[in-house]
Chain A
Amino acid sequence: GQQVMQIPQYQHVQEGEDFTTYCNSSTTLSNIQWYKQRPGGHPVFLIQLVKSGEVKKQKRLTFQFGEAKKNSSLHITATQTTDVGTYFCAGPNAGNNRKLIWGLGTSLAVNP
């Protein structure tokens, strides 16, 4: 079945270092969504990418959608302790676009 894979599973960085998480789908996606879940919290929507090759920025966060619309990345510049959490990507199910298929997430830890 359709899969959305994220790497790495865990990432430990020093505050101020950059961080990147990658998301790969086994099928072409019509769009991709990114969410952040703080420890003990719930997922919070960050962004949705729709166009092939799209790049969007939110302050220190840069999101990219691949040209083939099968992969995406989230890059954080100069991480801060407030960036701690798990970052999930999710894309619509190929057979039923109304359902989201989620990656397992990348857990980010930041040492102050």
Chain B
Amino acid sequence: KAGVTQTPRYLIKTRGQQVTLSCSPISGHRSVSWYQQTPGQGLQFLFEYFSETQRNKGNFPGRFSGRQFSNSRSEMNVSTLELGDSALYLCASSLLAGGGYNEQFFGPGTRLTVL
């Protein structure tokens, strides 16, 4: 079974731009969660989608948004990029909704650098 894939793997943007990241979950998994990972803050939960609906949201500003398509693929968008948005963005899929209860399978991440 193919694992979780994320594209692109690396991205360099400048302040004020916007960016879209993509995540394809493991086949059959309907839950996709997004995390931001930085050295000082660890993994911070952004949001979770299940069956095209956002089920949970972390404490991030409205510049961070996402969506999920009928094939469970998910996209994350960050508008008006700031220097502090530089991070590794990880996507994780699970069979059932609710990362708090279910093993999550992570993708390799997208390394975003904002200049």
Chain A residues within CB distance 8 Å of chain B: 30-31, 33, 41-45, 48, 88, 90-93, 96-105
Contact A104 B98 (CB under 8 A): no
Known: A43-B90, A98-B98, A99-B56. A48 touches B103 (CB 8 A): yes
How distant is the Cα of A71 from the Cα of B15 in the complex, in angstroms? 41
Known: A31-B101, A48-B103, A93-B100. A105 touches B42 (CB 8 A): yes
Can you list 28 A-B pairs, Cβ within 8 angstroms, ordered by A?
A30-B100, A31-B101, A33-B104, A42-B90, A42-B106, A42-B107, A43-B106, A44-B106, A45-B103, A45-B104, A45-B105, A48-B103, A88-B43, A91-B100, A92-B101, A93-B100, A96-B56, A97-B100, A97-B101, A98-B56, A98-B97, A98-B98, A98-B99, A99-B58, A99-B99, A99-B100, A100-B45, A100-B99
Query: Could you say which residues of chain A place their CB within 8 Å of the CB of B103?
Result: 33, 45, 48
Chain B residues within CB distance 8 Å of chain A: 41-45, 48, 55-56, 58, 90, 92, 97-101, 103-109
Query: Could you say which residues of chain A place their CB within 8 Å of the CB of B90?
Result: 42-43
Cβ-closest chain A residue relative to B99: A100
Q: How far is the CB of B44 from chain A (nearest CB, A)?
A: 8
Q: How far is the CB of A11 from chain B (nearest CB, A)?
A: 17
Contact B43 A98 (CB under 8 A): no
Query: Which of A42, A90, A102 contacts B108 (CB under 8 A)?
Result: A42
Query: Could you say which residues of chain B place their CB within 8 Å of the CB of A105?
Result: 42
